[in-house]
Structure 1
Amino acid sequence: MSSSRQICVFPSPAELALSLSQLLVHESQGTCSFRLALSGGSLVQLLSRELPKTAGLNTAGWKVAFCDERLVPFSDPESTYGEYKRQLVPHGLLSESQFVTIDPALPVEEAAVDYTKKLRELFPDDGLPAFDLLILGIGPDGHTASLFPGHPLLQVTDKVVAPISDSPKPPPQRITLTLPVINAAKTVVFVATGEGKATILKRILQEEESDPLPAARVSPVRGKLLWFVDEPAARELTCPVEKHSVL
């Protein structure tokens, strides 16, 4: 468990979204280069609704990569980048050139190598890429990014990006950041909403297991770990939390 873990509980997804946008303002202030990694799913709609109306947000120096991506054309609804392109880019906050994307035409192993190269260009220093902010979701099975319970990719320590061809959640072919890269981030934020996440959230945050779920393995080495959850998702938690209307 991260010693700097902070669990923030909000009344609803709307207050959570506002607070997440304010966090992005705070974390990106005072830097000419802000490197962000996003997840897909419900986070796309959440950010697309809130970011365009967030005061004080300057995205000019942003570069946006992805915690994982499905190996499908950008026109496919399963494409995380494709969804951000369709839902967020039209608001004018970010341009297509600010996104670091996979090449979906490549075989999955080559796509992982290609994406690693692009991240190395984004982080020219030696060592692991260290994102300024990385936003993750969790699945009902405790997976995060495309790191699934019991999967061999949880043990990978020598890659920045790993390919997966047998994802238990379709589509089967994906690329994902590895745990060492996730844990190298300066700030990691998990976002979880809805009562359907309550049981798995309690397991991740409160139960010690010999073989921890993927989301429970996220513990930034030198950064901070934030959990942004709404009240329905937090209803089974008995550990200390901070209740907010907004941050």
Structure 2
Amino acid sequence: MSSVMGLTAKSVGGDSSLAANATTASVAGVTEFGELQPPWIMSFTFASTVTELCTSFKTSKKQIEELTKTVTDLESRIQQWKDQKAIGDEKIKVLECDRNEAREEASRAIFEKCDLKEKLEKAAKEAEDAKASSTKARLNLHSKLLARSFASTIRELVTGLATSQEKNAVLTKQVRDFKRQIREWKDQKAIWAEEKKVLERDCNEGWKEAGRAISEMRYLENKLEKASKEAEDAKASAEKARSKAAKQEEKAKEAVE
């Protein structure tokens, strides 16, 4: 009986009052004065001690079950949060890749715009040279070859402009899709809010760059059309000069004869 009472007292967490009762009950009916206790007192003391131990054990067991359930729920919630965070991080990586691609496309469009502008300036200079050459040497038959060369350059510029416009259209669509994705992410958790603000700012800058590039392309296109018209006028003037020179040459031959 003594060993059972000692183990039971330890299992409920070492309650001092319960351990004292168990120790008293373990002494075979002897009081602290060395006197024998009556049997009915010994039975009552033992029953009271067992009842208290059982009650404490049940309470502790219930508390342990509740704590176990709480810990399980917390672990489940933590795992769900980690899964959501992993999904969000992956989507943010995708958005960052799209943003970087949009930046690269904008940089390429700006580079092509500068290259096209240089070609246009070169073509304008060639047009001025062609006009000066046709004015000085209206009787030179090589003006036709010069006009053909200039027309070929104009065709190349037109082709390059069309290609650049197609790339700008693709870039504009990418920027529009990127902005739509950012609007969809505005309702996500606060942990991603700051990163989405950065992405929106980058997209707006890309959109502005694309808008400016398109406006400048339209301006260059109008300027290119004007240069083409001037080239055609120069070509017509050269043809007219050549025809006039041929007629004068025929008249000179007739006069000599």
User: Please, what TM-score do these two structures have when normalized by structure 1?
Assistant: 0.18
Structure (1 or 2) with the greater strand fraction: 1
Question: Is the radius of gyration larger for structure 1 or structure 2?
Answer: 2
User: Please, what TM-score do these two structures have when normalized by structure 2?
Assistant: 0.18
Structure (1 or 2) with the greater helix fraction: 2
**Greater RCO (CA < 8 Å, at least 6 residues apart):** 1
